[in-house]
């Protein structure tokens, strides 16, 4: 098992860019495969529409671009608050964004993130140079906010649209790519991807597999236990005797 990452700036930037590209491809696939009824669906705070999901993912990536640019400039970025995904106002703000703007952002986010990565390359692994990161590596934050969190929303959207196999395949592909690129299982790395796959399996009714994957994820990143405790994706398996306490 890989326990640390190749933290040379050029190598790390290249690997991050490649994995961001995998997540981008998943979004493109979702866009390409949307029937008109799903594309135009209103959704609600409990069942986000595809348009709202993609708009929200873009917002998250834009916040990370701000952080990367701040790191490159040697300044502290603004604080971004937690997002309550069940807040109707937050949901409506994402859902009402025009489709052309949402589609354009999917491509723009990737190119802007890669450019910001290049600018901040020397800071991605050296958390000592970024006191506002509180000891966490910037590369891990890039993956969580640029890959794992958006991918989780995309997968949930696909499951709710009756496409659980496509959801699982997308997450498995990105997790496999992360491992092949040498990202560690440690916090922010592959463990968060495995957690995301566990959530997909739980939503799909695969209880035993969901619990097994979740236990694997928590073994590598115990901090994810706090996420699992409040994550509605695991409501269907929370009563399982093997569910991690």
Q: Is residue 68 part of a domain?
A: yes
- Residues 74-93 as b/e (b if ≥16 CB within 10 A, e otherwise) read eeebeeeeeeebeeeebbee
Q: Is residue 243 part of a domain?
A: no
Q: Is residue 242 part of a domain?
A: no
More reliable by pLDDT, 194 or 103: 194
For residue 187, name the pLDDT band (cuts at 50, 70, 90).
confident
pLDDT at 1: 43
Residue-wise pLDDT tens digits, 108-145: 999 999 999 999 999 998 878 899 998 888 999 999 99
Q: Is residue 51 part of a domain?
A: yes
Mean pLDDT, the chain, rounded, equals 89
Q: Is residue 132 part of a domain?
A: yes
pLDDT at 7: 67
Q: Is residue 244 part of a domain?
A: no
Q: Is residue 1 part of a domain?
A: no
Can you give the pTM of this predicted structure? 0.89
Q: Which residues pair with 47 in a beta bridge?
A: 44
More reliable by pLDDT, 126 or 60: 60
pLDDT at 5: 64
More reliable by pLDDT, 209 or 162: 209
Query: What range does the domain containing 174 cover?
Result: 9-234
CA 168, CA 148: separation in Å to the nearest integer? Answer: 13
Task: Round the CA-based radius of gyration of the chain to a whole number and report it.
Answer: 17
pLDDT at 9: 79
Q: What 3-state DSSP class applies to 44?
A: strand
Q: Is residue 134 part of a domain?
A: yes
60 pLDDT more than 80:
yes
CA 9, CA 16: separation in Å to the nearest integer? Answer: 11
| Number of domains making up the chain | 1
Distance of CA 185 to the CA centre of its chain: 15
């Amino acid at each position: 098992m890989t326990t640390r990452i190749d933290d040379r700036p050029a190598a790390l930037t290249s690997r991050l860019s490649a994995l961001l590209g995998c997540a981008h491809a998943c979004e493109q696939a979702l866009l390409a495969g949307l029937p008109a009824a799903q594309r135009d669906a209103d959704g609600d705070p409990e069942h986000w529409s595809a348009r709202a999901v993609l708009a929200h993912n873009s917002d998250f990536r834009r916040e990370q671009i701000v952080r990367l640019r701040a790191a490159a400039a040697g300044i502290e970025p603004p604080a971004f608050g937690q997002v309550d995904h069940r807040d109707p106002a937050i949901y409506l703000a994402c859902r009402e964004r025009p489709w052309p703007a949402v589609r354009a952002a999917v491509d723009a986010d990737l190119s802007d993130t890669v450019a910001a990565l290049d600018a901040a390359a020397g800071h991605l692994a050296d958390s000592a140079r970024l006191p506002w990161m509180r000891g966490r590596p910037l590369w891990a934050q890039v993956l969580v906010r640029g890959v794992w969190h958006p991918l989780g929303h995309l997968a949930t959207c696909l499951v709710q649209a009756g496409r659980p196999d496509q959801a699982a395949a997308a997450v498995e592909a990105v997790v496999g790519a992360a491992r092949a690129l040498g990202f560690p299982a440690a916090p922010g790395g592959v463990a968060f991807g495995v957690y995301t796959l566990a959530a997909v399996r739980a939503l799909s009714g695969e209880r035993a597999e969901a619990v097994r994957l979740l236990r694997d994820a928590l073994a590598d990143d115990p901090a994810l236990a706090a996420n699992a405790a409040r994550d509605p994706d695991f409501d269907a398996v929370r009563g399982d005797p093997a569910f991690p306490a």
